[in-house]
């Protein structure tokens, strides 16, 4: 355990005890108790002295003991519909990975884009971003990395050796995988945990329903814009390779596709379930309007897909299901607990008046405009997430952002959405996101090379998010 984690382990409980035993009242007794618990959680989340999921268990452990909320009320947050929406998404991702469908999709996309080095990079970015919309950006990067390394090895082993152009290609390819995995997840609610934390918060605390389709109307264009910008920045300006077309790279992709063999029955089954689920998410509101027999919800659709994957046998005469419960050992249960802990903390902050207090403080501001405040919040979130978990940051920020929006007398969604999206735009440092760390481990990237491209992309991300805050988000929410 490093010094920061050791310090955090001690400071968290100490901060709680100091705030809990203050000789004066900040707001009221209940609110002060929640603030004390929040300080403990924030310190542990920032320092990651223990798993961020373990920290998320503090509310269900401490709130009942302090009389802040009964355990039944706290536990309801850990069973929120948004938790089950993400659970179903995780299960679908498991199915895609189990039958290797995600790899087949990625290879076919790369094959379609062409065999020039720049087009290969574009193919990797499109494939990575698409997969990241539905499965975790970590799993996506793990899938794409060995394919990318195979292409790089072709350059290393050719007759002219590993030239400057080859090195730039390798560098741009590795960075493109990480960056596409990061921004691809922004396109859907289940694409990255911060989106889900924010959507769950507004649904639970303010009864605002953010549909899968409406989020995609905003998220998909943002991801496409960012993918385009990242591609141009990497291959045209910062790390151009000036290499010619290579037929051996096409042969390599074909060889990997041949190794997968023809599309198998289980892959077809998963593909049908996957496509049907996407259509139901996109058309949910229209389906509910067309008929009154059933009422669809995003979480319900997600659970239905998971249920089908577990319960409809592939072959009736033998015990052969797409997924067995044992497969869920790979499911990131800790993220689901994290959602619940974040929602429980947010509920307590709202219930005890802390959010209203933040709103009152902000409403007294007569210097900065809404535009200036949101711009600063976007920048703060984006650069902070270079150093700590974006999921934990969003869990911390959501209640505060809600209070700021109330104080500014503006829509919650107009403030929460761009700041939440900023949490997935960390491009500078290897420790910022798992995809950054995974490609950094390839050995083809140095920290200063990632920082050089990443800093510019961070600034561009802030500008694009400001444009979305000004024009796109208000037209949808």
> pLDDT tens-digit profile of 422-471?
999 999 999 888 899 999 988 899 999 999 999 999 999 999 999 999 99
SS3 286: helix
- List of the chain residues with pLDDT < 70: 157-161, 316-317, 366
SS3 461: helix
What Å distances lie between residue 455 and 62, 167, 334, 449, CA to CA?
Answer: 40, 21, 31, 10
pLDDT at 161: 65
- Residue ranges of alpha helices (H) inside 133-264 are 137-156, 164-184, 193-206, 212-232, 247-260
**What tokens does 338 get?**
């994290």
Q: Write the burial class of residue 171 (CB in 10 Å: 0-12 exposed, 13-18 middle, 19+ buried).
A: buried
Q: Which of 216, 227, 115 is nearest to 181 (CA)?
A: 227
pLDDT at 158: 64
Angle, vertex CA 242, rays to CA 238 and CA 248, nearest 5:
120
pLDDT at 317: 67
pLDDT at 74: 95
Please give the model's pTM, rounded to 2 decimal places: 0.90
What Å distances lie between residue 171 and 136, 284, 318, CA to CA?
Answer: 23, 42, 48
**pLDDT digit string, tens, across residues 375-403:** 999 999 999 999 888 888 899 999 999 99
């Amino acid at each position: 355990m490093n010094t920061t984690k050791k310090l955090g382990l001690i400071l968290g409980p100490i901060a709680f005890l100091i705030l809990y035993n203050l000789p004066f009242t900040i707001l009221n007794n209940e609110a002060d108790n929640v603030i004390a618990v929040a300080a403990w959680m924030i310190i542990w989340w920032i320092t990651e002295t223990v798993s961020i999921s373990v920290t998320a268990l503090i509310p269900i452990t401490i709130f009942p003991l302090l009389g802040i909320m009964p355990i039944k009320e706290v536990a309801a947050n850990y069973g929120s519909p948004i938790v089950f929406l993400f659970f179903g998404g995780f299960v679908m991702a498991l199915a895609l990975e189990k039958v290797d469908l995600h790899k087949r999709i990625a290879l076919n996309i790369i094959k379609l884009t062409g065999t020039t080095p720049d087009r290969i990079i574009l193919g990797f970015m499109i494939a990575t971003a698409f997969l990241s919309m539905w499965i975790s950006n970590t799993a996506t990067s793990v899938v794409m990395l060995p394919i990318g390394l195979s292409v790089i090895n072709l350059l290393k082993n050719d007759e002219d050796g590993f030239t400057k152009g080859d090195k730039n290609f390798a560098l741009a390819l590795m960075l493109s995988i990480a960056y596409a995995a990061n921004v691809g997840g922004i396109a859907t609610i289940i694409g990255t945990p911060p989106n889900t934390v924010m959507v769950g918060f507004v649904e639970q605390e303010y009864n605002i329903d953010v549909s899968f389709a409406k989020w995609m109307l905003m998220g998909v264009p943002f991801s496409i814009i960012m993918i385009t910008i990242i591609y141009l920045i990497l291959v045209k300006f910062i790390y151009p390779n000036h290499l010619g077309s290579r037929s051996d790279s096409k042969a390599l992709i074909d060889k990997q596709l041949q190794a997968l063999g023809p599309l198998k029955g289980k892959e077809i089954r998963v593909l049908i379930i996957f496509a049907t689920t996407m259509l139901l998410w996109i058309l949910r509101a229209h389906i509910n309007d067309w008929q009154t027999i059933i009422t669809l919800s995003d979480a319900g659709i997600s659970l239905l897909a998971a249920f089908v994957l577990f319960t409809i046998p592939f072959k009736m005469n033998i015990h052969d299901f797409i997924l067995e419960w044992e497969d869920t050992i790979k499911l990131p249960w800790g993220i689901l607990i994290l959602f619940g802990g974040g929602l429980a903390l947010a509920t307590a902050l709202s219930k005890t008046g802390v959010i209203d207090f933040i709103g009152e403080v902000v409403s007294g501001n007569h210097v900065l405009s809404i535009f200036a405040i949101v711009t600063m919040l976007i920048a703060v979130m984006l650069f902070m997430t270079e150093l700590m978990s974006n999921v934990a940051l969003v869990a911390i920020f959501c209640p505060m952002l809600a209070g700021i929006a109330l104080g500014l007398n503006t829509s919650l969604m107009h403030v929460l959405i761009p700041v939440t999206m900023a949490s997935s735009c960390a491009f500078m440092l290897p420790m910022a996101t798992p995809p950054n760390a995974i490609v950094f481990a390839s050995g083809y990237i140095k920290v200063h090379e990632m920082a050089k491209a990443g800093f510019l992309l961070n600034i561009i991300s802030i500008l694009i998010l400001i444009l979305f805050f000004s024009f796109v988000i208000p037209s949808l929410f």
